[in-house]
Structure 1
Protein backbone atom coordinates (compact mmCIF):
# COMPACT_ATOMS: atom_id res chain seq x y z
CA UNK A 1 0.00 0.00 0.00
CA UNK A 2 1.40 3.35 -1.00
CA UNK A 3 0.64 6.93 -1.92
CA UNK A 4 2.60 8.89 -4.49
CA UNK A 5 2.34 12.34 -5.99
CA UNK A 6 1.80 12.43 -9.75
CA UNK A 7 3.20 14.95 -12.20
CA UNK A 8 -0.29 16.37 -12.54
CA UNK A 9 -0.19 17.37 -8.88
CA UNK A 10 -2.73 14.74 -7.84
CA UNK A 11 -2.08 11.91 -5.38
CA UNK A 12 -2.35 8.26 -6.33
CA UNK A 13 -3.28 5.81 -3.59
CA UNK A 14 -2.64 2.13 -4.18
CA UNK A 15 -3.55 -1.04 -2.32
CA UNK A 16 -2.46 -4.55 -3.23
CA UNK A 17 -4.18 -7.76 -2.23
CA UNK A 18 -4.40 -11.42 -3.13
CA UNK A 19 -7.47 -13.25 -4.37
CA UNK A 20 -7.40 -16.96 -5.16
CA UNK A 21 -3.62 -16.90 -4.99
CA UNK A 22 -3.28 -14.09 -7.53
CA UNK A 23 -2.07 -10.57 -6.85
CA UNK A 24 -4.35 -7.64 -7.59
CA UNK A 25 -3.90 -3.90 -7.36
CA UNK A 26 -6.45 -1.18 -6.80
CA UNK A 27 -5.62 2.49 -7.38
CA UNK A 28 -7.43 5.79 -7.19
CA UNK A 29 -6.38 9.42 -7.73
CA UNK A 30 -7.22 12.31 -5.40
CA UNK A 31 -6.74 16.06 -5.48
CA UNK A 32 -5.64 16.13 -1.84
CA UNK A 33 -3.19 14.04 0.13
CA UNK A 34 -5.62 13.75 3.07
CA UNK A 35 -8.25 12.21 0.80
CA UNK A 36 -5.74 9.69 -0.55
CA UNK A 37 -4.70 8.70 2.99
CA UNK A 38 -8.33 8.30 4.05
CA UNK A 39 -9.07 6.06 1.08
CA UNK A 40 -5.97 4.00 1.78
CA UNK A 41 -6.85 3.54 5.46
CA UNK A 42 -10.44 2.57 4.65
CA UNK A 43 -9.28 -0.09 2.23
CA UNK A 44 -6.75 -1.38 4.75
CA UNK A 45 -9.61 -1.75 7.21
CA UNK A 46 -11.69 -3.58 4.62
CA UNK A 47 -8.90 -6.01 3.86
CA UNK A 48 -8.41 -6.53 7.58
CA UNK A 49 -11.99 -7.78 7.84
CA UNK A 50 -11.52 -10.10 4.88
CA UNK A 51 -13.44 -7.90 2.46
CA UNK A 52 -13.26 -8.79 -1.22
CA UNK A 53 -12.23 -5.53 -2.87
CA UNK A 54 -12.76 -6.86 -6.36
CA UNK A 55 -16.37 -7.86 -5.67
CA UNK A 56 -16.95 -4.55 -3.89
CA UNK A 57 -16.26 -2.80 -7.22
CA UNK A 58 -19.19 -4.48 -8.99
CA UNK A 59 -22.32 -2.37 -9.56
CA UNK A 60 -24.80 -2.80 -6.73
CA UNK A 61 -27.59 -3.54 -9.21
CA UNK A 62 -25.57 -6.46 -10.64
CA UNK A 63 -25.00 -7.87 -7.17
CA UNK A 64 -28.65 -7.42 -6.22
CA UNK A 65 -30.05 -9.06 -9.37
CA UNK A 66 -27.63 -11.97 -9.00
CA UNK A 67 -28.71 -12.31 -5.35
CA UNK A 68 -32.37 -12.43 -6.43
CA UNK A 69 -31.57 -15.12 -9.00
CA UNK A 70 -29.81 -17.29 -6.40
CA UNK A 71 -31.96 -16.77 -3.32
CA UNK A 72 -35.33 -15.38 -4.41
CA UNK A 73 -36.33 -17.29 -7.52
CA UNK A 74 -36.84 -20.91 -6.52
CA UNK A 75 -39.09 -21.63 -3.55
CA UNK A 76 -40.89 -18.28 -3.58
CA UNK A 77 -44.21 -17.31 -5.14
CA UNK A 78 -44.31 -15.60 -8.52
CA UNK A 79 -45.73 -12.51 -6.83
CA UNK A 80 -42.84 -12.36 -4.35
CA UNK A 81 -40.28 -12.77 -7.13
CA UNK A 82 -41.97 -10.03 -9.16
CA UNK A 83 -41.78 -7.70 -6.15
CA UNK A 84 -38.03 -8.26 -5.83
CA UNK A 85 -37.53 -7.61 -9.55
CA UNK A 86 -39.63 -4.43 -9.37
CA UNK A 87 -37.51 -3.18 -6.47
CA UNK A 88 -34.40 -4.01 -8.52
CA UNK A 89 -35.67 -1.60 -11.18
CA UNK A 90 -35.87 1.14 -8.55
CA UNK A 91 -32.35 0.32 -7.36
CA UNK A 92 -31.04 0.63 -10.92
CA UNK A 93 -32.95 3.86 -11.51
CA UNK A 94 -31.35 5.55 -8.50
CA UNK A 95 -27.88 3.98 -8.17
CA UNK A 96 -27.22 3.25 -11.87
CA UNK A 97 -23.83 1.49 -11.99
CA UNK A 98 -22.58 2.67 -8.57
CA UNK A 99 -20.34 0.04 -6.99
CA UNK A 100 -21.76 -1.73 -3.97
CA UNK A 101 -18.63 -0.82 -2.03
CA UNK A 102 -19.14 2.90 -2.64
CA UNK A 103 -22.68 3.19 -1.33
CA UNK A 104 -22.91 4.95 2.04
CA UNK A 105 -25.70 5.16 4.59
CA UNK A 106 -26.35 8.73 3.41
CA UNK A 107 -26.71 7.49 -0.17
CA UNK A 108 -29.18 4.82 0.85
CA UNK A 109 -31.18 7.25 3.00
CA UNK A 110 -31.51 9.60 0.02
CA UNK A 111 -32.72 6.65 -2.05
CA UNK A 112 -35.35 5.77 0.58
CA UNK A 113 -36.42 9.41 0.91
CA UNK A 114 -36.97 9.68 -2.83
CA UNK A 115 -38.87 6.40 -2.98
CA UNK A 116 -41.05 7.44 -0.05
CA UNK A 117 -42.27 10.55 -1.86
CA UNK A 118 -44.34 8.43 -4.24
CA UNK A 119 -45.03 5.33 -2.13
CA UNK A 120 -46.72 4.50 1.14
CA UNK A 121 -44.79 3.71 4.32
CA UNK A 122 -45.69 0.01 4.26
CA UNK A 123 -44.28 -0.45 0.74
CA UNK A 124 -41.17 1.55 1.63
CA UNK A 125 -40.69 -0.79 4.60
CA UNK A 126 -40.91 -3.75 2.24
CA UNK A 127 -38.33 -2.16 -0.09
CA UNK A 128 -35.86 -1.59 2.76
CA UNK A 129 -36.46 -5.06 4.20
CA UNK A 130 -35.77 -6.80 0.89
CA UNK A 131 -32.69 -4.75 0.04
CA UNK A 132 -31.34 -5.12 3.58
CA UNK A 133 -31.46 -8.91 3.25
CA UNK A 134 -29.18 -8.72 0.21
CA UNK A 135 -26.83 -6.19 1.82
CA UNK A 136 -26.48 -8.28 4.97
CA UNK A 137 -25.57 -11.27 2.82
CA UNK A 138 -22.95 -9.10 1.11
CA UNK A 139 -21.49 -8.28 4.53
CA UNK A 140 -21.53 -11.95 5.54
CA UNK A 141 -19.71 -12.87 2.32
CA UNK A 142 -17.09 -10.11 2.82
CA UNK A 143 -18.16 -8.30 -0.33
CA UNK A 144 -18.54 -5.17 1.82
CA UNK A 145 -17.77 -4.64 5.46
CA UNK A 146 -20.58 -2.30 6.53
CA UNK A 147 -24.36 -2.57 6.27
CA UNK A 148 -25.35 0.70 4.62
CA UNK A 149 -29.04 0.03 5.38
CA UNK A 150 -28.39 0.14 9.14
CA UNK A 151 -30.87 2.33 11.05
CA UNK A 152 -32.27 3.89 7.90
CA UNK A 153 -35.28 6.12 8.54
CA UNK A 154 -38.41 4.87 6.80
CA UNK A 155 -40.30 7.59 4.96
CA UNK A 156 -43.44 7.45 2.86
CA UNK A 157 -46.81 8.91 2.10
CA UNK A 158 -49.41 8.76 4.84
CA UNK A 159 -51.41 5.56 4.42
CA UNK A 160 -54.99 5.80 3.34
CA UNK A 161 -57.30 5.96 6.34
CA UNK A 162 -59.17 2.71 6.87
CA UNK A 163 -62.41 4.70 6.92
CA UNK A 164 -61.79 5.48 3.24
CA UNK A 165 -61.38 1.80 2.39
CA UNK A 166 -64.85 0.56 3.27
CA UNK A 167 -68.45 1.53 2.69
CA UNK A 168 -70.48 3.00 5.52
CA UNK A 169 -73.73 1.25 6.45
CA UNK A 170 -75.90 3.50 4.27
CA UNK A 171 -73.80 2.80 1.17
CA UNK A 172 -73.57 -0.89 2.09
CA UNK A 173 -77.37 -1.16 2.20
CA UNK A 174 -77.54 0.39 -1.27
CA UNK A 175 -74.89 -1.86 -2.82
CA UNK A 176 -75.84 -5.21 -1.28
CA UNK A 177 -79.43 -5.44 -2.61
CA UNK A 178 -78.25 -4.43 -6.07
CA UNK A 179 -75.60 -7.16 -6.11
CA UNK A 180 -78.06 -9.78 -4.84
CA UNK A 181 -80.52 -8.80 -7.57
CA UNK A 182 -78.02 -8.62 -10.45
CA UNK A 183 -75.10 -10.96 -9.66
CA UNK A 184 -75.07 -13.95 -11.98
CA UNK A 185 -73.58 -15.48 -15.13
CA UNK A 186 -74.23 -12.30 -17.12
CA UNK A 187 -72.59 -10.11 -14.47
CA UNK A 188 -69.64 -12.14 -13.21
CA UNK A 189 -67.93 -9.10 -11.67
CA UNK A 190 -71.00 -8.53 -9.50
CA UNK A 191 -70.98 -12.21 -8.51
CA UNK A 192 -67.37 -11.95 -7.39
CA UNK A 193 -68.03 -8.74 -5.45
CA UNK A 194 -71.01 -10.31 -3.68
CA UNK A 195 -68.88 -13.31 -2.71
CA UNK A 196 -66.24 -11.00 -1.22
CA UNK A 197 -68.89 -9.01 0.61
CA UNK A 198 -70.41 -12.19 2.07
CA UNK A 199 -67.14 -13.93 3.01
CA UNK A 200 -64.54 -11.20 3.57
CA UNK A 201 -62.16 -12.81 1.09
CA UNK A 202 -59.44 -11.02 -0.84
CA UNK A 203 -60.01 -10.69 -4.58
CA UNK A 204 -57.41 -13.36 -5.44
CA UNK A 205 -59.03 -15.78 -2.99
CA UNK A 206 -62.47 -15.21 -4.51
CA UNK A 207 -61.04 -15.65 -8.01
CA UNK A 208 -59.40 -18.90 -6.91
CA UNK A 209 -62.49 -20.36 -5.22
CA UNK A 210 -63.40 -23.82 -6.55
CA UNK A 211 -66.68 -25.70 -6.29
CA UNK A 212 -65.22 -28.49 -4.19
CA UNK A 213 -64.56 -25.89 -1.47
CA UNK A 214 -68.22 -24.82 -1.28
CA UNK A 215 -70.23 -26.94 1.16
CA UNK A 216 -73.85 -26.20 0.27
CA UNK A 217 -75.30 -28.40 3.01
CA UNK A 218 -73.32 -26.99 5.94
CA UNK A 219 -73.03 -23.47 4.49
CA UNK A 220 -69.22 -23.34 4.67
CA UNK A 221 -66.58 -22.23 2.17
CA UNK A 222 -63.00 -23.41 2.51
CA UNK A 223 -60.34 -20.88 1.53
CA UNK A 224 -57.12 -22.73 0.74
CA UNK A 225 -55.81 -21.22 -2.49
CA UNK A 226 -55.85 -18.13 -4.64
CA UNK A 227 -55.71 -17.24 -8.33
CA UNK A 228 -52.32 -16.25 -9.77
CA UNK A 229 -53.28 -14.16 -12.83
CA UNK A 230 -49.78 -13.82 -14.29
CA UNK A 231 -49.44 -17.58 -14.53
CA UNK A 232 -53.14 -18.33 -14.96
CA UNK A 233 -53.05 -20.97 -12.27
CA UNK A 234 -53.96 -21.63 -8.64
CA UNK A 235 -51.44 -21.02 -5.87
CA UNK A 236 -51.30 -20.92 -2.06
CA UNK A 237 -53.02 -18.16 -0.12
CA UNK A 238 -51.14 -15.20 1.33
CA UNK A 239 -48.08 -16.13 3.36
CA UNK A 240 -47.67 -19.44 1.51
CA UNK A 241 -50.89 -20.84 2.92
CA UNK A 242 -51.02 -18.94 6.21
CA UNK A 243 -54.32 -17.32 5.20
CA UNK A 244 -56.14 -20.65 4.81
CA UNK A 245 -59.39 -21.07 6.71
CA UNK A 246 -63.09 -21.95 6.72
CA UNK A 247 -65.86 -19.35 6.73
CA UNK A 248 -69.58 -19.88 7.22
CA UNK A 249 -71.99 -18.28 4.77
CA UNK A 250 -75.63 -17.32 5.09
CA UNK A 251 -78.00 -20.16 4.07
CA UNK A 252 -79.81 -17.97 1.48
CA UNK A 253 -76.46 -17.11 -0.09
CA UNK A 254 -75.49 -20.81 -0.17
CA UNK A 255 -78.70 -21.47 -2.09
CA UNK A 256 -77.93 -18.58 -4.42
CA UNK A 257 -74.47 -20.05 -5.15
CA UNK A 258 -76.00 -23.46 -5.85
CA UNK A 259 -78.46 -21.91 -8.30
CA UNK A 260 -75.63 -19.91 -9.87
CA UNK A 261 -73.69 -23.12 -10.52
CA UNK A 262 -76.70 -24.71 -12.20
CA UNK A 263 -77.15 -21.64 -14.39
CA UNK A 264 -73.55 -21.98 -15.58
CA UNK A 265 -74.07 -25.70 -16.26
CA UNK A 266 -77.19 -24.92 -18.29
CA UNK A 267 -75.46 -22.18 -20.28
CA UNK A 268 -72.62 -24.41 -21.45
CA UNK A 269 -75.01 -27.32 -22.09
CA UNK A 270 -77.03 -25.06 -24.39
CA UNK A 271 -73.96 -24.38 -26.54
CA UNK A 272 -72.95 -28.04 -26.59
CA UNK A 273 -70.24 -27.98 -23.93
CA UNK A 274 -69.89 -29.79 -20.63
CA UNK A 275 -69.35 -27.30 -17.80
CA UNK A 276 -67.17 -29.60 -15.70
CA UNK A 277 -64.96 -30.40 -18.69
CA UNK A 278 -64.54 -26.87 -20.02
CA UNK A 279 -64.00 -25.56 -16.47
CA UNK A 280 -61.27 -28.09 -15.69
CA UNK A 281 -60.10 -26.29 -12.52
CA UNK A 282 -63.71 -26.15 -11.25
CA UNK A 283 -63.46 -22.41 -10.66
CA UNK A 284 -66.60 -20.88 -9.17
CA UNK A 285 -66.25 -17.64 -11.15
CA UNK A 286 -65.30 -19.18 -14.50
CA UNK A 287 -67.11 -16.85 -16.87
CA UNK A 288 -69.06 -17.41 -20.08
CA UNK A 289 -65.94 -16.16 -21.86
CA UNK A 290 -64.07 -19.12 -20.27
CA UNK A 291 -61.79 -17.01 -18.13
CA UNK A 292 -61.47 -15.36 -14.73
CA UNK A 293 -62.18 -11.64 -14.60
CA UNK A 294 -59.18 -9.49 -13.69
CA UNK A 295 -58.97 -7.38 -10.56
CA UNK A 296 -58.76 -4.21 -12.66
CA UNK A 297 -61.83 -5.27 -14.63
CA UNK A 298 -63.85 -5.92 -11.48
CA UNK A 299 -62.66 -2.62 -9.98
CA UNK A 300 -63.79 -0.81 -13.11
CA UNK A 301 -67.23 -2.44 -12.96
CA UNK A 302 -67.50 -1.56 -9.26
CA UNK A 303 -66.51 2.07 -9.87
CA UNK A 304 -69.24 2.41 -12.50
CA UNK A 305 -71.76 0.80 -10.16
CA UNK A 306 -70.81 3.04 -7.23
CA UNK A 307 -71.31 6.08 -9.43
CA UNK A 308 -74.66 4.74 -10.63
CA UNK A 309 -75.85 4.15 -7.05
CA UNK A 310 -74.51 7.49 -5.83
CA UNK A 311 -72.20 5.95 -3.23
CA UNK A 312 -68.50 6.32 -2.46
CA UNK A 313 -66.27 4.84 -5.16
CA UNK A 314 -64.11 2.04 -3.73
CA UNK A 315 -62.14 -0.95 -4.99
CA UNK A 316 -63.00 -4.63 -4.68
CA UNK A 317 -60.75 -4.90 -1.61
CA UNK A 318 -63.20 -2.60 0.15
CA UNK A 319 -65.64 -5.53 0.15
CA UNK A 320 -63.36 -7.28 2.65
CA UNK A 321 -63.12 -4.20 4.86
CA UNK A 322 -66.86 -3.58 4.57
CA UNK A 323 -67.57 -7.19 5.56
CA UNK A 324 -65.55 -6.68 8.74
CA UNK A 325 -66.99 -3.26 9.52
CA UNK A 326 -70.59 -4.48 9.22
CA UNK A 327 -69.89 -7.34 11.65
CA UNK A 328 -68.13 -5.09 14.18
CA UNK A 329 -70.88 -2.49 14.08
CA UNK A 330 -73.41 -5.28 14.57
CA UNK A 331 -71.67 -6.23 17.81
CA UNK A 332 -69.59 -9.23 16.73
CA UNK A 333 -66.42 -9.80 18.76
CA UNK A 334 -62.99 -9.01 17.37
CA UNK A 335 -61.81 -12.66 17.69
CA UNK A 336 -64.76 -13.70 15.50
CA UNK A 337 -63.92 -11.05 12.90
CA UNK A 338 -60.26 -12.14 13.08
CA UNK A 339 -61.39 -15.71 12.36
CA UNK A 340 -63.40 -14.68 9.30
CA UNK A 341 -60.63 -12.48 7.90
CA UNK A 342 -58.04 -15.16 8.79
CA UNK A 343 -55.63 -12.71 10.39
CA UNK A 344 -52.81 -14.50 12.18
CA UNK A 345 -52.84 -11.98 15.01
CA UNK A 346 -55.75 -10.30 16.76
CA UNK A 347 -53.57 -7.18 16.84
CA UNK A 348 -53.86 -6.92 13.05
CA UNK A 349 -57.64 -6.90 13.24
CA UNK A 350 -57.62 -4.36 16.06
CA UNK A 351 -55.21 -2.03 14.25
CA UNK A 352 -57.26 -2.13 11.05
CA UNK A 353 -60.59 -1.41 12.70
CA UNK A 354 -59.68 0.49 15.88
CA UNK A 355 -61.91 3.42 14.86
CA UNK A 356 -64.93 1.10 14.67
CA UNK A 357 -64.03 -0.53 17.97
CA UNK A 358 -63.91 2.90 19.60
CA UNK A 359 -67.29 3.72 18.09
CA UNK A 360 -68.88 0.50 19.37
CA UNK A 361 -67.21 1.03 22.74
CA UNK A 362 -69.11 4.30 23.03
CA UNK A 363 -72.38 2.51 22.35
CA UNK A 364 -71.42 -0.23 24.84
CA UNK A 365 -70.70 2.44 27.44
CA UNK A 366 -74.21 3.82 27.05
CA UNK A 367 -75.74 0.36 27.44
CA UNK A 368 -73.51 -0.44 30.42
CA UNK A 369 -74.38 2.81 32.16
CA UNK A 370 -78.04 2.07 31.65
CA UNK A 371 -77.66 -1.36 33.26
CA UNK A 372 -75.52 -0.05 36.13
CA UNK A 373 -77.87 2.87 36.75
CA UNK A 374 -81.01 0.73 36.88
CA UNK A 375 -80.69 -0.30 40.59
CA UNK A 376 -80.38 3.36 41.59
CA UNK A 377 -83.43 4.25 39.53
CA UNK A 378 -85.46 1.51 41.23
CA UNK A 379 -84.29 2.64 44.70
CA UNK A 380 -85.22 6.24 44.01
CA UNK A 381 -88.65 5.21 42.75
CA UNK A 382 -89.28 3.23 45.96
CA UNK A 383 -88.27 6.16 48.16
CA UNK A 384 -90.48 8.61 46.34
Structure 2
Protein backbone atom coordinates (compact mmCIF):
# COMPACT_ATOMS: atom_id res chain seq x y z
CA UNK A 1 0.00 0.00 0.00
CA UNK A 2 2.91 2.35 0.75
CA UNK A 3 4.43 1.52 -2.64
CA UNK A 4 1.14 2.44 -4.35
CA UNK A 5 0.96 5.69 -2.37
CA UNK A 6 4.53 6.56 -3.41
CA UNK A 7 3.65 5.66 -7.03
CA UNK A 8 6.36 3.02 -7.16
CA UNK A 9 3.78 0.48 -8.36
CA UNK A 10 0.34 1.11 -9.87
CA UNK A 11 -1.70 -1.38 -7.86
CA UNK A 12 -1.49 -3.46 -4.72
CA UNK A 13 -0.81 -6.97 -6.03
CA UNK A 14 -1.30 -8.36 -2.50
CA UNK A 15 -4.95 -7.28 -2.41
CA UNK A 16 -7.18 -10.19 -1.30
CA UNK A 17 -4.16 -12.41 -0.65
CA UNK A 18 -4.58 -14.67 2.37
CA UNK A 19 -1.40 -15.60 4.21
CA UNK A 20 -0.83 -19.20 5.21
CA UNK A 21 -0.07 -19.91 8.83
CA UNK A 22 2.76 -21.93 10.32
CA UNK A 23 3.24 -22.79 13.95
CA UNK A 24 6.08 -20.86 15.58
CA UNK A 25 9.10 -22.40 17.20
CA UNK A 26 8.60 -24.05 20.55
CA UNK A 27 9.62 -21.66 23.33
CA UNK A 28 12.59 -23.79 24.38
CA UNK A 29 14.11 -23.55 20.88
CA UNK A 30 14.33 -19.76 20.95
CA UNK A 31 16.92 -19.44 23.71
CA UNK A 32 19.84 -21.25 25.32
CA UNK A 33 19.70 -22.77 28.76
CA UNK A 34 22.34 -21.68 31.29
CA UNK A 35 24.82 -24.43 30.43
CA UNK A 36 24.75 -23.66 26.70
CA UNK A 37 24.88 -19.95 27.43
CA UNK A 38 28.09 -20.48 29.38
CA UNK A 39 29.63 -22.50 26.54
CA UNK A 40 28.81 -19.81 24.00
CA UNK A 41 29.97 -16.93 26.22
CA UNK A 42 33.32 -18.63 26.82
CA UNK A 43 33.81 -19.29 23.12
CA UNK A 44 33.03 -15.78 21.84
CA UNK A 45 34.98 -14.00 24.59
CA UNK A 46 38.35 -15.16 23.27
CA UNK A 47 40.53 -14.70 20.20
CA UNK A 48 39.16 -11.20 19.56
CA UNK A 49 40.03 -10.04 16.05
CA UNK A 50 38.96 -7.60 13.37
CA UNK A 51 38.35 -10.39 10.87
CA UNK A 52 35.48 -11.67 13.00
CA UNK A 53 33.74 -8.78 14.74
CA UNK A 54 30.53 -10.82 14.43
CA UNK A 55 31.91 -12.85 17.35
CA UNK A 56 32.14 -9.66 19.41
CA UNK A 57 28.59 -8.75 18.36
CA UNK A 58 27.34 -12.10 19.60
CA UNK A 59 29.08 -11.65 22.97
CA UNK A 60 27.58 -8.17 23.30
CA UNK A 61 24.09 -9.40 22.44
CA UNK A 62 24.39 -12.25 24.90
CA UNK A 63 25.56 -10.00 27.74
CA UNK A 64 23.12 -7.12 27.14
CA UNK A 65 19.96 -8.48 25.50
CA UNK A 66 20.21 -5.78 22.81
CA UNK A 67 18.59 -6.24 19.41
CA UNK A 68 20.94 -6.94 16.52
CA UNK A 69 20.27 -3.53 14.92
CA UNK A 70 21.05 -1.85 18.25
CA UNK A 71 24.30 -3.78 18.61
CA UNK A 72 25.28 -2.94 15.03
CA UNK A 73 24.73 0.78 15.63
CA UNK A 74 26.86 1.00 18.77
CA UNK A 75 29.53 3.70 18.70
CA UNK A 76 32.45 4.14 21.06
CA UNK A 77 30.95 7.24 22.76
CA UNK A 78 27.97 5.03 23.74
CA UNK A 79 30.24 3.02 26.03
CA UNK A 80 31.04 4.53 29.44
CA UNK A 81 33.82 2.51 31.06
CA UNK A 82 33.73 4.59 34.24
CA UNK A 83 30.02 4.04 34.90
CA UNK A 84 30.16 0.57 33.29
CA UNK A 85 27.20 1.24 31.03
CA UNK A 86 26.17 1.14 27.38
CA UNK A 87 23.73 3.75 26.12
CA UNK A 88 21.26 2.72 23.40
CA UNK A 89 19.71 5.55 21.39
CA UNK A 90 19.84 4.39 17.74
CA UNK A 91 19.80 1.32 15.53
CA UNK A 92 21.37 0.34 12.22
CA UNK A 93 19.45 0.38 8.96
CA UNK A 94 20.59 -2.61 6.87
CA UNK A 95 17.78 -2.18 4.34
CA UNK A 96 17.94 1.46 3.24
CA UNK A 97 21.55 2.51 2.86
CA UNK A 98 23.36 1.04 5.88
CA UNK A 99 23.12 4.03 8.16
CA UNK A 100 21.84 5.05 11.57
CA UNK A 101 18.11 5.19 12.24
CA UNK A 102 15.82 5.58 15.23
CA UNK A 103 15.34 2.81 17.75
CA UNK A 104 12.40 0.46 17.34
CA UNK A 105 10.34 2.37 19.93
CA UNK A 106 10.80 5.36 22.21
CA UNK A 107 11.16 3.00 25.18
CA UNK A 108 14.08 1.32 23.40
CA UNK A 109 16.25 4.32 24.32
CA UNK A 110 17.93 3.17 27.51
CA UNK A 111 21.17 2.76 29.44
CA UNK A 112 22.34 -0.77 30.26
CA UNK A 113 24.70 -1.72 33.07
CA UNK A 114 27.30 -4.22 31.85
CA UNK A 115 29.97 -6.50 33.28
CA UNK A 116 33.72 -5.86 33.28
CA UNK A 117 34.31 -8.83 30.96
CA UNK A 118 32.31 -7.17 28.20
CA UNK A 119 34.02 -3.81 28.72
CA UNK A 120 37.45 -5.47 28.56
CA UNK A 121 36.43 -7.36 25.43
CA UNK A 122 35.36 -4.14 23.70
CA UNK A 123 38.47 -2.33 24.93
CA UNK A 124 40.63 -4.93 23.17
CA UNK A 125 38.54 -4.60 20.02
CA UNK A 126 38.98 -0.82 20.10
CA UNK A 127 42.74 -1.20 20.45
CA UNK A 128 42.80 -3.47 17.41
CA UNK A 129 40.87 -0.90 15.36
CA UNK A 130 43.25 1.87 16.34
CA UNK A 131 46.28 -0.32 15.67
CA UNK A 132 44.96 -1.18 12.21
CA UNK A 133 44.31 2.50 11.44
CA UNK A 134 40.75 1.84 10.29
CA UNK A 135 38.88 4.76 8.72
CA UNK A 136 36.00 5.00 11.17
CA UNK A 137 34.47 8.48 11.08
CA UNK A 138 31.23 7.22 12.66
CA UNK A 139 33.16 5.60 15.55
CA UNK A 140 31.41 2.28 14.98
CA UNK A 141 32.25 -0.40 17.53
CA UNK A 142 31.95 -3.47 15.31
CA UNK A 143 33.65 -2.24 12.16
CA UNK A 144 35.71 -5.13 10.76
CA UNK A 145 39.01 -5.12 8.89
CA UNK A 146 37.15 -4.46 5.62
CA UNK A 147 35.48 -1.37 7.03
CA UNK A 148 32.06 -3.02 7.36
CA UNK A 149 29.65 -4.08 10.07
CA UNK A 150 28.80 -7.79 9.87
CA UNK A 151 25.24 -8.45 8.75
CA UNK A 152 22.68 -10.29 10.90
CA UNK A 153 23.04 -13.16 8.43
CA UNK A 154 26.77 -13.38 9.09
CA UNK A 155 26.12 -13.49 12.84
CA UNK A 156 23.48 -16.19 12.38
CA UNK A 157 25.89 -18.26 10.28
CA UNK A 158 28.46 -18.05 13.06
CA UNK A 159 25.83 -19.13 15.60
CA UNK A 160 25.04 -22.10 13.34
CA UNK A 161 28.74 -22.99 13.40
CA UNK A 162 28.74 -22.91 17.20
CA UNK A 163 25.64 -25.11 17.18
CA UNK A 164 27.74 -27.69 15.34
CA UNK A 165 31.06 -27.27 17.18
CA UNK A 166 29.84 -26.64 20.73
CA UNK A 167 26.78 -28.87 20.63
CA UNK A 168 24.46 -26.05 21.73
CA UNK A 169 20.91 -25.34 20.55
CA UNK A 170 20.44 -23.68 17.18
CA UNK A 171 19.32 -20.09 17.72
CA UNK A 172 19.36 -16.82 15.78
CA UNK A 173 20.86 -13.54 16.99
CA UNK A 174 17.44 -12.62 18.40
CA UNK A 175 17.67 -15.82 20.42
CA UNK A 176 20.56 -14.19 22.31
CA UNK A 177 18.07 -11.57 23.54
CA UNK A 178 15.70 -14.32 24.68
CA UNK A 179 18.61 -16.12 26.33
CA UNK A 180 19.69 -13.00 28.21
CA UNK A 181 16.21 -12.31 29.55
CA UNK A 182 15.47 -15.94 30.40
CA UNK A 183 18.74 -16.29 32.30
CA UNK A 184 18.03 -13.18 34.37
CA UNK A 185 14.56 -14.51 35.19
CA UNK A 186 16.13 -17.83 36.18
CA UNK A 187 18.49 -15.93 38.51
CA UNK A 188 15.56 -14.18 40.19
CA UNK A 189 15.97 -10.70 38.66
CA UNK A 190 12.70 -8.75 38.81
CA UNK A 191 10.54 -8.68 35.71
CA UNK A 192 10.19 -4.89 35.82
CA UNK A 193 13.98 -4.41 35.71
CA UNK A 194 14.38 -6.88 32.85
CA UNK A 195 11.64 -5.07 30.94
CA UNK A 196 13.49 -1.74 31.14
CA UNK A 197 16.80 -3.43 30.30
CA UNK A 198 15.30 -4.89 27.13
CA UNK A 199 13.64 -1.61 26.18
CA UNK A 200 10.07 -2.90 26.39
CA UNK A 201 7.30 -0.35 26.83
CA UNK A 202 5.98 -2.11 29.92
CA UNK A 203 6.56 -5.27 31.93
CA UNK A 204 3.41 -6.97 30.61
CA UNK A 205 5.09 -7.31 27.22
CA UNK A 206 8.09 -8.94 28.88
CA UNK A 207 5.85 -11.18 30.95
CA UNK A 208 3.96 -12.40 27.87
CA UNK A 209 7.14 -13.17 25.94
CA UNK A 210 9.05 -14.83 28.78
CA UNK A 211 6.28 -16.75 30.50
CA UNK A 212 8.27 -19.94 30.07
CA UNK A 213 10.98 -21.20 32.42
CA UNK A 214 14.49 -22.19 31.57
CA UNK A 215 15.39 -25.86 31.63
CA UNK A 216 17.29 -25.67 34.93
CA UNK A 217 14.58 -23.56 36.55
CA UNK A 218 11.89 -26.04 35.48
CA UNK A 219 13.79 -28.91 37.12
CA UNK A 220 14.31 -26.86 40.27
CA UNK A 221 10.64 -25.94 40.51
CA UNK A 222 9.64 -29.57 39.89
CA UNK A 223 11.84 -30.61 42.82
CA UNK A 224 10.42 -27.90 45.08
CA UNK A 225 6.87 -28.91 44.17
CA UNK A 226 7.43 -32.62 44.87
CA UNK A 227 9.12 -31.88 48.18
CA UNK A 228 6.27 -29.57 49.20
CA UNK A 229 3.64 -32.18 48.33
CA UNK A 230 5.52 -34.93 50.18
CA UNK A 231 5.24 -32.92 53.39
CA UNK A 232 1.45 -33.29 53.20
CA UNK A 233 1.81 -37.05 53.52
Both structures adopt the same fold (TM-score exceeding 0.5): yes
The more displaced of 358-367 and 342-351 is 358-367
Secondary structure of 1:238's partner? coil
Secondary structure of 2:143's partner? coil
For residue 26 of structure 2, the aligned residue among 161, 169, 183 is: 161
Q: Shift in Å at residue 360 of structure 1?
A: 6.7
Residues in 2 aligned to 1:285 and 1:357: alpha-carbon distance in whole angstroms: 30
For residue 108 of structure 2, the aligned residue among 226, 237, 243 is: 243
The equivalent of 2:99 in structure 1 is 233
Rate the CA distance shift 1:290–1:345 in 2: closer, same or farther, 3 A. Answer: same
Secondary structure of 1:242's partner? helix
Residues in 1 aligned to 2:154 and 2:218: alpha-carbon distance in whole angstroms: 35
Point out which structure has higher relative CO (alpha carbons under 8 A, 6+ apart). 2
Rate the CA distance shift 1:312–1:362 in 2: closer, same or farther, 3 A. Answer: closer
Pairs within 5 Å for 1:215-294: 215-230=80-95, 231-239=97-105, 241-268=106-133, 275=134, 278-294=135-151
Is this contact kept in 2: 1:216–1:258, CA < 8 A?
Answer: no
* Greater share of residues in helix: 1
Q: Which runs of 5+ in 1 are unaligned?
A: 1-60, 74-84, 96-107, 118-155, 269-274, 374-384
For residue 67 of structure 2, the aligned residue among 168, 178, 202 is: 202
Q: Shift in Å at residue 292 of structure 1?
A: 0.8
Q: Calculate the aligned-residue CA RMSD, in Å.
A: 2.9
Q: Shift in Å at residue 162 of structure 1?
A: 2.6
Deviations 1:158-204 (A, max 9, x none): 22233211111221121111111234323211100001001100111
Is this contact kept in 2: 1:222–1:246, CA < 8 A?
Answer: yes
Residues in 2 aligned to 1:334 and 1:204: alpha-carbon distance in whole angstroms: 24
User: Of the two, which has the highest radius of gyration?
Assistant: 1
Is this contact kept in 2: 1:329–1:360, CA < 8 A?
Answer: no
Is this contact kept in 2: 1:162–1:352, CA < 8 A?
Answer: no
Q: Which runs of 5+ in 2 are unaligned?
A: none
TM-score, structure 2 as length reference: 0.86
Is this contact kept in 1: 2:48–2:121, CA < 8 A?
Answer: no
Count of residue pairs the alignment pairs up: 226
Is this contact kept in 2: 1:207–1:226, CA < 8 A?
Answer: yes
Rate the CA distance shift 1:171–1:361 in 2: closer, same or farther, 3 A. Answer: closer
The equivalent of 2:162 in structure 1 is 305
